[in-house]
Structure formats: structure tokens, C-alpha cells
């Protein structure tokens, strides 16, 4: 019995060291060596200051900028989750209507249909991307507020359009933070 207990305790200690110390250190070392930018959070820096991450949406409400998706978590990565509201939930309908009203208030002349990703949140509540349709919907507003030509802003949208992942997964999309930083450089 004592021998089995010694083996069991020894095995627990061995597995704890292997899976709790050696494995995490090895994975971290490999990630830092081969994928440093991603392992450090895919941070975007401007003039030596960190302005955000490529992976987490940022709140933009100034009409001079492209707006991203709604966030059910107020862009707090620690609280990552969707709203989990069903399609008939009054709270979801109110949030959608509020976003429609905000979009129409800053761009009352735009009669195009509003893309769904501008009025709904993503599953994580932190999506940094919008669809190409959502970006193109905002081009007239951004161009007007920045006193730029729509063709100039559309070209920027086209330049920042990312294709499908591995050529087959998802839809073409645009990272809103990167696009807005490029807009700031442009003006």
C-alpha cells in the first residue's frame, strides 16, 4: 500500500512538472521565437505608443472614422461574450434601433441599406473587422467629414480589404483600427 501511494504521489508530481511547468515554458518559447507579434497580442503601435490590437475591436463613434461592430462587452476582452439575445428579445431590438438611429443621425443622406454587421455584435463582442459592405456604406460619411474624395476613401478601403483566410474561410473583411489609422495618416 505504501509503495502504491509513493508511486501515485510521484506520478502526480511528475505530471505536474511536465504539464504545469515544462510544457507551458516550451510552448511559450516556441511562440515567442516563431510568432513573436502574435504571441505578444498582435499590438499596433504608432509613434512608440500602443494604440490597440489587431485582434480586439476598438470603439469609434466620431463620424470622421469608420465604425466597427457593436460590442456587447464594451470592448472589454476580459468579459468577452456575445449578448446572447434572441432575435425577438426587446433589448436586442432596442440596441439595433439605437445603432440605426446613430448611423442615420451622422449620415442622413445615405439611403443605402445598412449592412447587418453595423447594427449587431459579434459572437465574442470584440470583433475588430467589418464586412466590405459595411465599410463601403460608411465611405460617403467619412469622406464628407474629412473633406476627402469618396474615390480616395474607397481606394483606402480596397487597400485594407483582407481576403478569405487560407483562401476559403470566412468572407473578405476590413480591420477597422488599421483602416482608421491609415485615414489619420492620409489627412
Query: Residues with Cβ < 8 Å from 44, sequence gap 6 or more?
Result: 50, 51, 52, 53, 54, 177, 178, 181
pLDDT of residue 119: 86
In whole angstroms, what is the distance from residue 97 CA to residue 120 CA?
10
Query: Within the chain, which residues score under 70 in pLDDT?
Result: 72-84, 125
pLDDT of residue 137: 95
- For residue 44, what is the enclosing H or E element? strand 43-46
pLDDT of residue 153: 94
| C-alpha cell at position 77 | 476582452
Q: How many beta carbons lie within 10 A of that of residue 165, not counting itself?
A: 10
- 0.85 exceeded by the pTM? no
pLDDT of residue 86: 76
pLDDT of residue 73: 59
pLDDT of residue 82: 60
Helices 150-159 and 132-146, interaxial angle, to 10°? 140
163 alpha carbon, distance to own chain's centre = 16
Q: Are 64 and 142 in contact (CB under 8 A)?
A: yes
pLDDT of residue 50: 78
Q: Are 72 and 55 in contact (CB under 8 A)?
A: no
Nearest CA-CA partner of 134 in 99, 109, 166? 99
Q: Are 173 and 131 in contact (CB under 8 A)?
A: yes
Amino acid at each position: 500500500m505504501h509503495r502504491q501511494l509513493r508511486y501515485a504521489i510521484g506520478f502526480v508530481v511528475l505530471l505536474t512538472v511536465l504539464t504545469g511547468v515544462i510544457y507551458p515554458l516550451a510552448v511559450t518559447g516556441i511562440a515567442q521565437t516563431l510568432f513573436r507579434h502574435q504571441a505578444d497580442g498582435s499590438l499596433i503601435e504608432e509613434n512608440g505608443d500602443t494604440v490597440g490590437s489587431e485582434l480586439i475591436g476598438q470603439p469609434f463613434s466620431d463620424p470622421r472614422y469608420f465604425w466597427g461592430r457593436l460590442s456587447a462587452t464594451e470592448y472589454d476582452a476580459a468579459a468577452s461574450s456575445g449578448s446572447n439575445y434572441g432575435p425577438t428579445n426587446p433589448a436586442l431590438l432596442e440596441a439595433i434601433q439605437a445603432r440605426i438611429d446613430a448611423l442615420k443621425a451622422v449620415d442622413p443622406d445615405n439611403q443605402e441599406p445598412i449592412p447587418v454587421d453595423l447594427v449587431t455584435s459579434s459572437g465574442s463582442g470584440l470583433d475588430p473587422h467589418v464586412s466590405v459592405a459595411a465599410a463601403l456604406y460608411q465611405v460617403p460619411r467619412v469622406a464628407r467629414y474629412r473633406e476627402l474624395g469618396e474615390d480616395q476613401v474607397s481606394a483606402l478601403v480596397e487597400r485594407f480589404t483582407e481576403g478569405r483566410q487560407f483562401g476559403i474561410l470566412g468572407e473578405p473583411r476590413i480591420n477597422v483600427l488599421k483602416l482608421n489609422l491609415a485615414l489619420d495618416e492620409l489627412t
